[in-house]
Amino acid sequence: MCLEGEELDAYAAQFAEYLQIEKNASPYTVKYYLDDLETYHRFLAAEGIAEPGDVDQRIVRSFLTGLYEQNLSRRSVSRKISSLRGFYRFLEREGHLSINPFAHVSMPKADKPIPGFLYEEELEQLFEVSNLEEPLGQRNQALLEVLYATGMRIGECKGLKLGDIDFSIGTMFVRGKGRKERYLPFGRFAEIALETYIHGGRAELLEKAKSTSDAVFLNARGQPLTDRGMRLILNKLVEKAALTVRLHPHKLRHTFATHMLNEGADLRTVQELLGHESLTSTQIYTHVTKNHMRDVYMNSHPRAKG
């Protein structure tokens, strides 16, 4: 059965109808699928392939090689594989074919971007912008210190209760993903910021609410602070510090992990502090520290530069 010319157009039209009606795909999704089919059709025509049954693993590998030679991202290649796998599955279902040459093609591993982090100089600027004479300034300082001191997730920080903080031994009880719990240590700077806020600014904020709350971090109305509210606070701190970065809570988590490893902490300890199930999730930070280590070497070794 030929996939050329009008016949391919007919199959493509049937496939598009199947996506729209049975899969309830969006117009954008349908467009992407059809664009991928057109790319594949042009390749088959250039290879002189007329019958679907003539497409074997060698042809599939040649097609994928051509995609990589175009410097397409792994994500784009994965989408095209998915599109063609779905198209052939549709042809199988309709009885046009019995073999799907893309059925067992492995998806390329997704690119793992190196996480962004803040340098110590940038952090110092952030720590200097809050007005510690005001309740909101005390709260913002405490929030910043806690996120950097512990590396906890924003959801964990939002769920932090007053009873979770043990100032006598400097630890916090954190409820993580999948109801997994752990204790996190915190240092002197976070301790001072928390005590100042809890005994000062937080008490003033709570007076504005009509109900009590044991949440550590409160908004201007005395209600528990949301994760969206935390993001807004951090971005406003960045604006005040005149930094050119966008500071989301996870960047502070990345910064915590990167700085710990840069200062000699072992990977297993950082994994436990971050609450990662797998060491693989923590190992991404070693890429950052390797870059840092190379920069230090290039700038410090007498014979590193020509």
Task: Give me the DSSP letters along 254-291.
Answer: HHHHHHHHHTT--HHHHHHHHT-SSHHHHHHHHHHHHH
Cβ-based burial of 137 (10 A; exposed 0-12, middle 13-18, buried ≥19): middle
Residues with Cβ within 8 Å of residue 196, at least 6 apart in sequence: 132, 138, 141, 142
Give the helix ranges, DSSP H, for 116-216. Answer: 120-127, 135-150, 154-158, 188-196, 202-206
Please tell me the number of Cα atoms within 13 Å of 194 on its side-chain side.
Answer: 26
Which residue's structure tokens are 């005994």? Answer: 199
Query: Residue 30 and residue 17: Cα distance in Å, rounded?
Result: 9
Q: Looking at residue 110, what is its pLDDT?
A: 62
Structural domains of the chain ordered from first start:
5-93 (1.10.150.130), 120-300 (1.10.443.10)
Instruction: Give the per-residue pLDDT at 53.
Output: 63
Q: Which pLDDT does position 2 carry in this prediction?
A: 42
Residue-by-residue pLDDT tens, the chain, 306 positions: 444 445 667 788 898 999 989 888 888 888 989 999 889 888 888 888 766 667 888 888 899 888 888 888 888 888 899 999 999 899 888 888 888 888 888 887 766 666 788 888 889 999 999 999 999 999 999 999 999 999 999 999 999 999 999 999 999 999 987 778 999 999 999 999 999 999 999 999 999 988 899 999 999 999 999 999 999 999 999 999 988 877 888 889 999 998 998 888 899 999 999 998 888 888 888 776 667 667 777 877 777 776
- What pLDDT score does 247 carry? 84
What are 182's strand-pairing partners? 174
Residues serving a catalytic function are: 153, 177, 250, 253, 276, 285
Q: Taking the model in full, what pTM does it have? A: 0.62
Please report the pLDDT score of residue 268 as a whole number. 92
